[in-house]
Structure 1
Amino acid sequence: MGLNRPISSGPADVAAAGSDSKPAEKTAFDIRLEKYDAAVKIKIIKEVRSFTDLGLKEAKELVEKVPAVLKKGLTKEEAAAIVEKLKELGASVVLE
């Protein structure tokens, strides 16, 4: 018969929708290489190989594709350590 009525939200649905007003804290981070000095390119490649399972050729290609995401899904602590090391080498790195 007249079942074409829109489904109304109950109080629980409204409360759940309203509780999302503040963003959830991010738990997975990506490391993106923005730029680096050509003089330290080899050191950057070696460092990228140390925290990825890439071979020399793959790491070199990844570094040369600047800007490029080097690693995804890291915890904040893991990502911060890698970012710090790359910055010490002279790279411009962003934590996303």
Structure 2
Amino acid sequence: MQASTKPKIDPRLLEPTVQVRTETRIVCPVELEAAAPNKPALPAGATLVGDEYGLGYAGARFAREDALDQLIADARKACAAPQGAPAAPAKPPAGR
């Protein structure tokens, strides 16, 4: 009688295998689809009057509003780009 021989199995095949898959997806909040309120127009002949601190504060608020508008516009462009396609690079806000 012949002794049965078992096939040799590579020990690496007996170790567990872990597969990792990374997926990047752009997920856009529905708030980006909402219409922004209209900016109030400065009436003709209107004058902003105040001291340097008050006018400086008003100017900073206007600059912040412009920067936020640009961030929202860039986010909308990124969300409108097809998945996998790079969005157009964002322009840095003015004053930076």
TM-score normalised to the size of structure 1?
0.24
TM-score normalised to the size of structure 2?
0.24
More strand by share: 1
More helix by share: 1
